């Protein structure tokens, strides 16, 4: 039965009462026989209302219902643009009364990885020989569900997320991420929470917008991880200059941040300039810029940090390694009988990118200095300097749809040199970055990086073939 508002019910009841109080021929003839079915609903008893009047009553009811529904906020979806990620499903946004906004986002990456080894073992700097294994696995590589908006005041912004992966097993917990901050203007937002430590361009760019399956070997080797911290972000000069900088517990919010000795923290910042207009998302020019776009940037990180051997529970955590892949804190890594407990971590990067008409070229170079070692035993070196770079060349030969790319990265240091090179193919579903299929092949030679979310395992030499389906909303 249609739900009538109060005025309509009142009118119908009055009509029914008046109709019942006026005697009819049926009333004069006496009570109705038992076999005559009585009206079950009010509308069925209104046989005296003419069709035009009944139609008008229903029209008034429909108008009242529509007016009531119009006052209820309805979810709407805000997709990605050529220069900004999707805002997601806007569940609620107050237009009056208590200020509140809630939008939901999500990201999923399904990956198949096969690694075919070219060697059977490798020896680390501590003298231990370790096996190199073949890999063949399916995984829900990343799952991210996040909510964001503002509360109490449009300047009091928040974002919270749960991040997980099946690479650590289907019983692994989700990692909490999130920030809360005060947005003074587009030029400055002061916030705090658990975020990535912004120490390189490829690390700052969100994962869904990578040109390939994932970030590079060199980036995975050099960059820090996630950590709680306080930071500022903003855009200046008509959004042509952007920055983020702050202080975090450590370069790694896992053991390095929780078990650190002393009160020293990690200081990091990243800035970039887009002089010809918005550069867009990631390294790819799938949007096929009609005018050239350029981005140049730099970053820096300094931390007095705890030496650890194993990463934390966040699957994006990495540990500091020597250029042959040996964990820096491994006993004997820096000399026979040596055991490192603390050290200074210093990282600087420079980057540049160019996009035009579906073509894109991007590179980044890293400089890292490790020194001020504290520990036991004799260290072979008082400092360690490593450096390396990455490069991508891509061509979206059917704008917004089909793309091919080549990629390479390499690094070197006192303990060895590692390289990777390869390429792949992207298909953007429905001409959107929000759905993508990728096929990629990479060859690695003495890879020094390691992270289970990536195809990189320390010391490995061989070829990785990867396929992914990725979607974000």
Question: Residue 176 has what pLDDT?
Answer: 87
Question: Residue 4 has what pLDDT?
Answer: 41
Cβ atoms of 305 and 368 closer than 8 Å: no
Better pLDDT: 296 or 26: 296
27 conformational bin, left if phi > 0, alpha if psi -120 to 50, beta if neither = alpha
Residue percentage of the chain with pLDDT more than 90:
75
CA count, 13 A, side-chain hemisphere, 122: 22
Most confident range (mean pLDDT) of 251-260, 335-344, 361-370, 371-380 is 361-370
- Cα gap 339→331, rounded to integer Å: 5
pLDDT tens sequence across 209-230: 999 999 999 999 999 999 999 9
Label residue 20 by pLDDT band (50, 70, 90): very low
Q: Which CATH architecture has domain 76-472?
A: Beta Barrel (2.40)
Q: Position of tokens 């911290």?
A: 229
Question: Residue 310 has what pLDDT?
Answer: 82
**What CA–CA distances, in Å, run from 369 to 108, 264, 348, 349, 386?**
36, 18, 9, 12, 7
Task: List the one residue out of 261, 259, 265, 295 whose CA is nearest residue 280.
Answer: 295
User: Average pLDDT, stretch 69-75?
Assistant: 71
Element containing residue 17 per DSSP (H, E) = helix 6-21
The answer on pLDDT for 183 being more than 60 is yes
Question: Residue 158 has what pLDDT?
Answer: 97
Question: Residue 28 has what pLDDT?
Answer: 44
> CB-based burial of residue 141 (10 Å sphere; 0-12 exposed, 13-18 middle, 19+ buried)?
buried
Number of separate helices (H) and strands (E) present in the chain: 6, 20
User: Average pLDDT, stretch 389-401?
Assistant: 97
| Beta strand ranges found along 63-215 (DSSP E) | 76-78, 88-93, 100-117, 121-123, 129-131, 135-151, 153-164, 175-185, 188-196
Question: Residue 309 has what pLDDT?
Answer: 84
Residue 229: CB atoms within 10 Å: 25
Label residue 40 by pLDDT band (50, 70, 90): low
The answer on pLDDT for 84 being more than 50 is yes
User: Average pLDDT, stretch 32-52?
Assistant: 54
Task: List the one residue out of 368, 232, 366 whose CA is nearest residue 305.
Answer: 368
Task: List the one residue out of 295, 250, 304, 269 whose CA is nearest residue 198.
Answer: 269
pLDDT tens sequence across 228-250: 999 999 999 999 999 999 999 99
The answer on pLDDT for 188 being more than 90 is yes
Tokens of 224: 């820090």
Question: Residue 32 has what pLDDT?
Answer: 44
Cβ contacts of residue 18 below 8 Å, gap of 6+? Answer: none
Label residue 3 by pLDDT band (50, 70, 90): very low
- Cα gap 410→16, rounded to integer Å: 87
Q: Average pLDDT, whole number, for the chain?
A: 88
Label residue 47 by pLDDT band (50, 70, 90): low
Instruction: Report the range of poorest mean pLDDT among 29-33, 362-366, 417-421.
Output: 29-33
User: What is the radius of gyration, based on Cα positions, of the chain?
Assistant: 31
Residue 54: CB atoms within 10 Å: 12
Residue percentage of the chain with pLDDT more than 70:
88
Domain boundaries, the chain: 6-70, 76-472
Which residues on adjacent β-strands are paired with residue 130?
122
- Cα gap 92→272, rounded to integer Å: 33
Cβ atoms of 308 and 329 closer than 8 Å: yes
Question: Residue 10 has what pLDDT?
Answer: 42
Better pLDDT: 73 or 128: 128
Enter the pTM of the model. Answer: 0.84
Residues in the chain, overall count? 473
Cβ atoms of 142 and 175 closer than 8 Å: no
User: Average pLDDT, stretch 340-361?
Assistant: 97
Better pLDDT: 196 or 263: 196
Q: DSSP letter string over 256-319? A: HHHS--SS--EEEEEEEE-TTS---SSS--TT--SS-EEEEEEEEEEEEEE--SS--SSTT---
Question: Residue 44 has what pLDDT?
Answer: 52
């Amino acid at each position: 039965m249609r739900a009538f508002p109060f005025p309509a019910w009142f009118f119908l009841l009055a009509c029914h009462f008046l109709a019942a109080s006026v005697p009819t021929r049926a009333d004069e003839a006496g009570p109705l026989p038992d076999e005559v079915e009585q009206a079950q609903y009010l509308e069925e008893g209104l046989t005296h209302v003419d069709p035009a009047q009944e139609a008008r009553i229903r029209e008034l009811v429909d108008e009242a219902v529509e007016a009531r529904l119009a006052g209820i906020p309805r979810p709407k979806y805000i997709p990605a643009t050529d220069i900004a990620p999707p805002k997601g499903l806007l569940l609620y946004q107050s237009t009056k009364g208590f200020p509140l906004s809630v939008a939901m986002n999500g990201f999923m990456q399904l990956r198949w990885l096969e690694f075919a080894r070219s060697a059977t073992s490798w020896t680390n700097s501590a003298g231990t020989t370790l096996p190199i294994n073949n890999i063949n696995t399916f995984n829900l590589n990343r799952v991210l569900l996040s909510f964001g908006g503002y509360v109490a005041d449009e300047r009091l912004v928040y974002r919270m997320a749960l991040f997980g992966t099946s690479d650590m097993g289907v019983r692994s917990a989700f990692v909490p991420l999130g920030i809360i901050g005060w947005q003074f203007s587009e030029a400055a937002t002061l916030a705090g929470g658990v975020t990535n430590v912004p120490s390189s361009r490829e690390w700052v760019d969100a994962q869904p917008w990578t040109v390939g399956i994932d970030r590079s070997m060199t980036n995975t080797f050099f960059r820090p991880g996630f950590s709680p911290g306080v930071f500022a972000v903003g855009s200046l000069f008509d959004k042509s200059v952007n920055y983020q900088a702050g202080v975090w517990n450590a370069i790694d919010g896992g053991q390095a941040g929780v078990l650190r000795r002393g009160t020293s923290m990690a200081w990091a910042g990243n800035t970039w300039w887009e002089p010809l207009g918005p550069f867009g998302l990631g390294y790819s020019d799938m949007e096929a810029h009609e005018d050239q776009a350029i981005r140049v940037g730099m970053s820096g990180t300094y931390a007095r940090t705890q030496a650890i051997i194993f990463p934390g529970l966040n699957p994006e955590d990495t540990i500091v390694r020597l250029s042959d892949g040996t964990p820096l804190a491994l006993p004997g890594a820096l000399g026979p009988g040596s055991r490192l407990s603390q050290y200074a971590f210093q990282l600087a990067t420079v980057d540049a990118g160019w996009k035009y008409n579906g073509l894109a070229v991007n590179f980044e170079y890293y400089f890292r200095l490790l020194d001020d070692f504290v520990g036991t035993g004799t260290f072979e070196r008082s400092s360690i300097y490593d450096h390396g770079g990455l490069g991508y060349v891509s061509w979206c030969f059917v704008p917004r749809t089909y793309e091919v790319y080549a990629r390479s990265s390499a690094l070197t240091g006192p303990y060895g040199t590692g390289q990777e090179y390869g390429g792949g193919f992207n298909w953007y579903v429905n001409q959107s970055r929000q759905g993508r299929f990728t096929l990629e092949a990479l060859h690695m030679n003495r890879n020094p990086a390691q992270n289970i979310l990536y195809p990189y395992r320390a010391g490995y030499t061989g070829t990785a073939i990867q396929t992914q389906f990725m979607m974000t909303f």
